[in-house]
Amino acid sequence: MSNLLSLKGIYKSFNKGTIDEMALFTDFNLDIKEGEFVSIVGSNGSGKTTILNIISGSTPIDGGDVCLKDENINKMKEYLRARRIARVYQDPALGTSPNLTVLENLALADNKGHYYGLSFAFNKKKKAEYQELLKSLNMGLEDKMNTKVKRLSGGQRQALALLMATMQPVDILLLDEHTAALDPKTSEEIMELTNRIIKEKHITTLMVTHNLRYAIEYGNRLLMFNQGSIIIDKSDKEKENINVDDLLKTFNEISIECGN
Amino acid sequence: MPLNIIFNILQQGLCYAIVALGVYISYKILNFPDLTVDSSFPLGAVVCIGLIQVGVPFIIALIVAFISGTLTGFITGFLHVKFKISPLLSGIITMTALLSINLAVAQGRTLIPYGDKTTLFNNAFTKLFGDNLSLIALANIIILLVIVIVIKVLMDLFFKTKRGYMLRAVGDNEQMGISLGSNSGFYKIFGLCLANGLVALAGAIYSQYMNYFDNTSGTGMVVIALASVIIGTAIFKHVKFVKGTTASIVGALIYTAVLNVIIALGVPTIYLKLVMALSFLVILILNYYFFSRDKKIKKGEKHV
Ligand SMILES: Nc1ncnc2c1ncn2[C@@H]1O[C@H](COP(=O)(O)OP(=O)(O)O)[C@@H](O)[C@H]1O
Ligand SMILES: [Mg+2]
């Protein structure tokens, strides 16, 4: 099967030309196949967020190629990539518009990739549709259509952000520790919801998570990052054989190597 | 209060309401404190009077004044979006440059009278009201009220469209606009064009109301407009059905009333700007103590 996304020979340094110069990625390669649900773990600062930024176009690269469906998107602007690459952030404030209502946010997301012109943002029929969608989330959002998003709980906001990110068809979904800011129970609910949406819509997904158990339980491929390299890459059967203890052990080993 | 003061407040206040509607877009919707206003206001006036003096009908002159304002908004927005210059500095650069442009358009004159040229306030309709000063004021108020309501309704409709939603979203959370596949810079520039178009239109209308162009008429307009928007939104903060546009109009009327009453109480007019600044300050302090429910300004929330 051909690759949906491939990162070829990526170079990325920060603070170039200063004493703080740090080469994060040197010749980084990664291929993602259509339909894969990849969970990514790794210590803080190992480059997980940066790689998502590179894919979504919010961080420029120093060398290499980012290809989506065999098309080189190196030069494609972030907002244009966003029409094909959806993203949910750790911070619930980033994925939604806080001073707009739930309904207004949904109406905007529903038009993603289309022209934002002078026609009305939604109609009665659409409103009913959104209500049904919200109901299916089971987060109590269907009664809060006219509530400003900033008044929602963190869990409700992330559920809404997930729904908005996946409302229109996308090539790939990027999740960056999107349950990390939530309490354990809500985190669990959002993770279940994430899994359900990804399964139902067959969305190719990269999910960075701080939770080793989620990384093992969900998805069909697991990557561990360390200092800008992939040190574990297991798919399908191989992935099923990994357990939390193995992962923790590797984690500790690299921590000792790094001297923390 | 004498009737003529009330009439003055309504006429001036409705002119300022148009400025407030513009600044509502830049300040409230886009979260962009735009100082261009101080110069786009007189620009609209000078463009308008220039055209009327060479025989252009006043309606066309008003439309061109609006367009001249959108250009200033475009420049400020472009500086901010393209070169990442802060909103304040982008506005200051455009505002300062325009001071010369305005004078150039006015060919160096700082005061230009309309004389008896046909304007919004001097035409077949207003002549129906004869020379009774109160009746003339009433006619002016009706004309201004119609204009303000038309602008308000158009804005309310616009904010219900897809484009209007996107404008609000970009102002609220720029990353969200990008995530939705939109060029957020384009929307910021677009919003600033609209905002300054309205401000210039207000400047043109105000000059017709005064019946002369005054090069200094824009000085302090930012304060008037911000005060209006802030008063309006504070008062109606917890009244859901009152729209931001209505709130800004009411705010402009209240602020104009406050200024006029203070001057009517005998404060010499040379202190007008001092009064403007101090009452703005009082408004900000009142807003802080009485209208903000939670006084701590949370992370990510706007400082008034
Ligand atoms: N904008 C930036 N400027 C400087 N250094 C950065 C920047 N973004 C990331 N880094 C550095 O790159 C490394 C990887 O960061 P990040 O990708 O956020 O790691 P992770 O998400 O895996 O915790 C860190 O050492 C971080 O300090
Ligand atoms: Mg991170």
pLDDT: which is higher, B62 or B287: B62
Give the separation between CA A81 and CA B67, rounded to whole angstroms.
34
The domain locations on chain B are 3-216
Q: Is the C-beta atom of A209 inside 6 A of ligand 1?
A: no
Mean pLDDT of B174-197: 95
Q: Is there a contact between A109 and B180 if contact means CB atoms under 8 Å apart?
A: yes
Mean pLDDT of A132-160: 94
Mean pLDDT of B280-295: 79
User: For position B304, what pLDDT does the model report?
Assistant: 47
User: For position A256, what pLDDT does the model report?
Assistant: 67
Instruction: Supply the DSSP string of B272-293, one letter for each residue.
Output: HHHHHHHHHHHHHHHIIIII-S
Residue B301 reports pLDDT greater than 50? no
User: For position A20, what pLDDT does the model report?
Assistant: 87
Q: Is the C-beta atom of A186 inside 6 A of ligand 1?
A: no
Which residues does residue A225 pair with via DSSP β-bridges, in sequence order?
Answer: A42, A230
Neighbours of ion ligand 2 (CB under 5 A): A 49
Among candidates B165, B181, B182 on the partner chain, residue whose Cβ is nearest the Cβ of A121: B165
Whether residue B189 contacts residue B81, with contact meaning beta carbons closer than 8 Å, is answered with: yes
Question: Cα torsion at A94, A99, A105, A109 (round to 10°)?
Answer: -50
Q: Is the C-beta atom of A18 inside 6 A of ligand 1?
A: no
User: For position B69, what pLDDT does the model report?
Assistant: 98
The Cα angle at residue B75 between residues B70 and B79, in degrees rounded to 5: 145
What's the start-to-end Cα distance of chain A, in Å?
41
Mean pLDDT of A126-148: 94
Q: How do residues B16-58 score in pLDDT, each as one tens digit?
A: 999 999 999 999 999 999 999 999 999 999 999 999 999 999 9
Query: Which letter does DSSP use for residue B161 in this model?
Result: B
Percent of chain A predicted with pLDDT > 70? 97
Q: How do residues A204-225 score in pLDDT, each as one tens digit?
A: 999 999 999 999 999 999 999 9
Residue burial A226-239, b: 16+ Cβ < 10 Å; e: rest: bbbbbebebeeeeb
User: For position B296, what pLDDT does the model report?
Assistant: 47
Give the separation between CA B261 and CA B265, rounded to whole angstroms.
6
User: For position A248, what pLDDT does the model report?
Assistant: 84
Give the separation between CA B18 and CA B203, rounded to whole angstroms.
9
B80 phi, psi to nearest 5 deg: -70, -45
Percent of chain B predicted with pLDDT > 90? 86
**Whole-number mean pLDDT of chain A?**
92
Nearest CA to ligand 1 atom 20: A45
User: For position A236, what pLDDT does the model report?
Assistant: 83
Confidence of residue A143 (pLDDT cuts 50, 70, 90): very high
Residue B284 reports pLDDT greater than 70? yes
User: For position B110, what pLDDT does the model report?
Assistant: 93
- Retrieve residue A28's tokens: 């980084």
Give the separation between CA B120 and CA B96, rounded to whole angstroms.
29
Q: How do residues B143-156 score in pLDDT, each as one tens digit?
A: 999 999 999 999 99
